[in-house]
């Protein structure tokens, strides 16, 4: 497989043709049987090992997880720590939605119904972003919100080499509350959340406490709600995720690249635990000392 840093412009442009005729491979019987065994204890690659594996590029990671689990929050922090771009599929799609073309309107209608966008549309948007990154000299990436389906995962595997997949997990009632509490400042574009999560754990599960992320006074009167953050649409998106995207977890698990991580609190509680799970505590300390990460 070609690494993204070596992917040519022609190869990126061929993505659309690949989607048009490529058939989806099924998992082999042995692989499917391995999935049924249950959770595996998998080694987590160190950043240094990944860089030695392919000199000249940074880590190439993927973040999975239900809508509202916090993929963007943690992926953006890690991108600063690892000095690679954070490519959020949701942000790319929302930028497309700002247009007034027939495609933009069709995309908007699809998302408001809680459905996934067609693979052809997604890869068109992503390939354009990757081309721009290559031209700017980017090496490595953290993909957030992509791939969402088995078809997308298999096509991505043909195009590039993913080193690690971080699968963020959070109970569904908390996810719904978080999504319904999201707000965006219409002036600065900042993301905030009015939801205060304080859930007592049951059957041995830990308590979950997430304080609200309130806007500053300058933004308080400019809060807007995303069109797809309604109770009906959020539940539809979660249902679609479990039906279409959850199998992607097994796709990467059988390849030894999946790290399941339970989000058990707010950013202050979760961030150190995630760094430890990724073997990045030492790198975070170095970055803090150099004032690279707030």
The tens digit of pLDDT for each residue in 49-100 reads 433 434 567 889 999 998 888 898 899 999 999 989 999 988 888 888 887 7
Contact call for residues 154 and 24 (beta carbons, < 8 A): yes
- What tokens does 73 get? 């929050």
Q: H or E stretch including 96?
A: helix 89-97
Interatomic CA distance for residues 294 and 285, integer angstroms: 11
Q: Which pair of structure tokens corresponds to residue 134?
A: 């290559």
Cβ atoms 215, 190 nearer than 8 A: yes
Q: Give catalytic residue positions.
A: 71, 148, 182, 226, 237
> Where along the chain do its domains lie?
47-262
Whether the predicted model's global pTM rises above the 0.95 cut: no
Place of tokens 């990436």: 141
The CATH-assigned architecture of domain 47-262 is: 3-Layer(aba) Sandwich (3.40)
Question: What number of residues does the chain have?
Answer: 294
Give pLDDT tens digits for 150-191. Answer: 888 988 887 778 999 999 998 888 889 988 999 999 999 888
């Amino acid at each position: 497989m070609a690494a993204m840093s070596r992917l040519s412009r022609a190869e990126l442009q061929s993505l659309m043709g690949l989607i048009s005729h490529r058939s989806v491979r099924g998992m082999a019987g042995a692989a499917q049987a391995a999935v049924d065994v249950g959770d595996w204890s998998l080694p987590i690659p160190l950043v240094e090992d990944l860089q030695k594996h392919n000199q000249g590029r940074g880590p190439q990671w993927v973040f999975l997880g239900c809508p509202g689990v916090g993929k963007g929050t943690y992926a953006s922090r890690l991108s600063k720590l690892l000095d690679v771009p954070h490519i959020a599929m949701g942000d790319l799609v929302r930028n497309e939605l700002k247009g007034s073309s027939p495609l933009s309107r069709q995309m908007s209608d699809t998302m408001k119904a809680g459905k996934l966008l067609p693979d052809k549309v997604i890869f068109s948007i992503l390939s354009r972003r990757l081309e721009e990154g290559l031209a700017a000299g980017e090496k490595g990436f953290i993909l957030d919100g992509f791939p969402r389906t088995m078809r997308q995962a298999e096509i991505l595997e043909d195009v590039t080499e993913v080193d690690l997949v971080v699968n963020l997990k959070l109970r569904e009632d908390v996810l719904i509350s978080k999504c319904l509490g999201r707000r965006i400042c219409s002036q600065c574009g900042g993301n905030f959340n009015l939801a205060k999560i304080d859930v007592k754990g049951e059957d041995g599960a830990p308590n979950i406490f997430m304080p609200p992320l309130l806007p500053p006074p300058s933004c308080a009167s400019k809060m807007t709600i995303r069109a797809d953050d309604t109770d009906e649409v959020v539940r539809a998106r979660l249902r679609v995720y479990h039906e279409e995207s959850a199998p992607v977890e097994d796709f990467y698990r059988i390849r030894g690249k999946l790290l399941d991580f339970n989000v058990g609190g707010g950013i202050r509680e979760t961030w150190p635990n995630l760094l430890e799970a990724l073997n990045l505590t030492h790198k975070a300390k170095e970055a803090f000392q150099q004032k690279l990460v707030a």
